[in-house]
A and B are shown apart, each in its own frame.
Chain A
Amino acid sequence: MHFTPITPYHYLLLSAALFSVGVIGVMVRRNIIILFMSIELMFNAVNINLVAFAALYRHEVGQAFAVFVIAVAAAEAAVGLGIILAFYRNKETLNIDEMNLMKG
């Protein structure tokens, strides 16, 4: 069996597909915790992209950026989950369709 060699395009396509799965999760699900997990999936897609380019150009700059993305993702998860807990304490729900205090 013969395979074409794995180029960075393969990794970029994987990253695009993973990002789209994350977008579908954000668009379709109503549980806000699952929404946050979909956002983490999208962060991972971006990181695969950065690391693939780092491997292509044989330089670690892409990986340095991925480290920053992970740091921001950690901060986002901590603050976001804090907001979820505070909201749950007030409204007893995690459904984003019931989060309409600002009439959005």
Chain B
Amino acid sequence: MLDAIAFYTLAALILAFAIAVITARNPVHSVVFLVINFLAVAIVYIVLGAEFLAMIQVLVYAGGIVVLYLFVVMLVNLKRGPEAHQDPRRQTGAGVGLAVAVLAELTAILAYTGRNPLPAVVPAASARGPGGNTEQLGWLLYTTYLIPFEVASMLLLVAMIGAIVLARKVD
């Protein structure tokens, strides 16, 4: 009962702010809606028992990536609206149709697989074995997934260097 109310509230929040992100005229408003969307997703992670991921979501997404977006929105000072010019060959209707087709396909797959019922999602506390979520996740990341973890750190290093090189002023 309580988890159903929580889920539907969060789902409505997430979808409403996602739609607000893609419909807002002003990019700064879009960024603010994106922050609220990310925070709602973080609460979904907590409901699903992924506390560490919720923390990372708040720190990296709502704290880091969104600030990056805000900086870029403020750095580019547009004299005319970014959407002023539209390519006459642009097929907006076909794009929306394709996206709706994607949603219909995914829903059809879910409806097909949904015939064999799954157990209800267990609340966070009772799902856990010994050790907290962070301990278990850290154990996985540093043993089984050590090499992907190192590759990810290398990717971040390369991305950092690449971003510095790209954003540098060329003289």
Docked-complex contact A64 and B34, CB < 8 angstroms: no
Contact pick for A24, options B68, B96, B114, CB 8 Å: B96
Are A11 and B121 also in contact (CB < 8 A) when A4-B4, A79-B166 are? yes
Query: What is the CA–CA distance of A14 and B120 in the complex, to the nearest angstrom?
Result: 16
Docked-complex contact B68 and A78, CB < 8 angstroms: yes
Q: Which B residue sits closest to A84, measured CB to CB?
A: B72
Instruction: Give a binary string over B1-23; 1 marks a CB under 8 Å from any A CB, 0 the rest.
Output: 10111011001001100110110
In residues 144-160 of chain B, which contact A (Cβ within 8 Å)?
144-145, 148, 152, 155-156, 158-160
Docked-complex contact B56 and A27, CB < 8 angstroms: no
Q: Give the chain B neighbours of A86 by CB distance below 8 A.
A: 166-167
Return A77 CB to nearest CB of chain B, in Å: 5
Task: Assess whether A101 is interfacial by the CB under 8 Å rule.
Answer: no
Docked-complex contact B121 and A6, CB < 8 angstroms: yes
Return B134 CB to nearest CB of chain A, in Å: 10
Docked-complex contact B69 and A71, CB < 8 angstroms: no
How many B residues face the partner with a CB closer than 8 A? Answer: 91
Chain A interface size range: 35 or more
Interface of A: prevailing SS: helix
Q: Give the chain A neighbours of B118 by CB distance below 8 A.
A: 7-9, 56
Query: What is the CA–CA distance of A83 and B14 in the complex, to the nearest angstrom?
Result: 29
Query: What is the CA–CA distance of A34 and B38 in the complex, to the nearest angstrom?
Result: 15
Docked-complex contact A94 and B85, CB < 8 angstroms: no
Query: What is the CA–CA distance of A26 and B95 in the complex, to the nearest angstrom?
Result: 9
Docked-complex contact B155 and A75, CB < 8 angstroms: yes
